[in-house]
Structure 1
Amino acid sequence: MSVSHDERTALADLFLSVGPDASTLCEGWTTRDLVVHLVVREYRPDAAAGMFLGLARGHLEKVTGEESTRPYEDLVASYRHGPPRWNPMRLIDRFANLTENFVHHEDVRRGGGEWSSRALPRGTRDALWRATGFAARGLIIPSGPTVRLVRTDGTGGEQETVTVGSGAPEVTVTGAAPELTLWVFGRDKACDLTLEGPVEKVARRDL
């Protein structure tokens, strides 16, 4: 098992618990919209290309519409199962889907407006921190302010830092690894963090 698997299982359970019409942190998306997105991403790579390529967007919209007509419980069951055997993503699920499953789990947990951070095991927090450092270098546009991510829940309480960019001014984002993950992935308004500097000037690439 892996952190990605654990987050997938917990999110599938939560999907069923809250139903298809619950709010999420993904603007304009209900839980049905979110699980459709996750299923298309793993089961329809031909359509998922439209998430990144404008020329394929029409096909993505068509397939998304078709998947949206499936019973909600069936969609959740497909997501719970993970990528199908023919999809190479299944072999690297623990890496490829770690932040995807965690962030979307929190999208549902925190989507209702009232939320609290989870007390996650150290292994989970360490895995998220490693993945966040990698993701930050791909998502944060380095031509903007220098961004320093400062983790406060490392081994022995020692701070760990990831820095992206080298320009001025500097933005420092401080907190526990899971909260930093959510910030890097754009969940700015639903994180428990300390922010210093002109955070509004930080730009991220579209997901």
Structure 2
Amino acid sequence: MLKIGLTGGIGSGKSTVASMLEEYKYTIIDADTVSREVLNKYSEILEKVRIQFGDNFFDWRGEFRRREFGNHVFRFPKERKKYESIIMPFIIKEINEKFEQLEKKGEHIVILDAPTLIENNLHEEMDMVILVWVDQSTQIQRIKSRDKLSQNEIINRINAQMSLDRKKDYANFIIDNGKNLIKTKEQIDDLVELLRLYEK
């Protein structure tokens, strides 16, 4: 089974590219979905978060205040690394289990959609890495129009990830998603033609 890592950055349009690839019937594991699933599945994660970060990120009912916590860890890189050291082992475990299950089902190609694929060294487990790239001004504009975040929150979230230009060094295939959907679709068609070589 061919394992493909799909990555990008906040506001790069990676989810749009993933949706386009799904139209070609490729199976996709969404790392963001997995990260939400593990919070519900493993109660020890939030217990560790409470111990490490305190009660401020939980409301009076004990519910996790996800957005407030997200803003906090994106503002302070050391805090983000502390959180990732708690949650990433659970995420990686779940992702590996999903890959194993899909291989047993006979899947030939599975795509892991992960924004921090490279930052967390998951690219080392992939047979191919696809990068969805845009320039930073496009990133900022897209995030502004999509999310209710301040300029500082946007910059903090962009800076919390490796720059898209640096990620180019790790990519086997780059999709420039800074133009229009027609241009993006043309690049995806080229990618699909390449992947079909692996399926033969």
**Structure 2 length-normalised TM:** 0.29
- Structure number having the greater helix percentage: 2
Question: Highest relative contact order (Cα 8 Å, sep 6+), 1 or 2?
Answer: 2
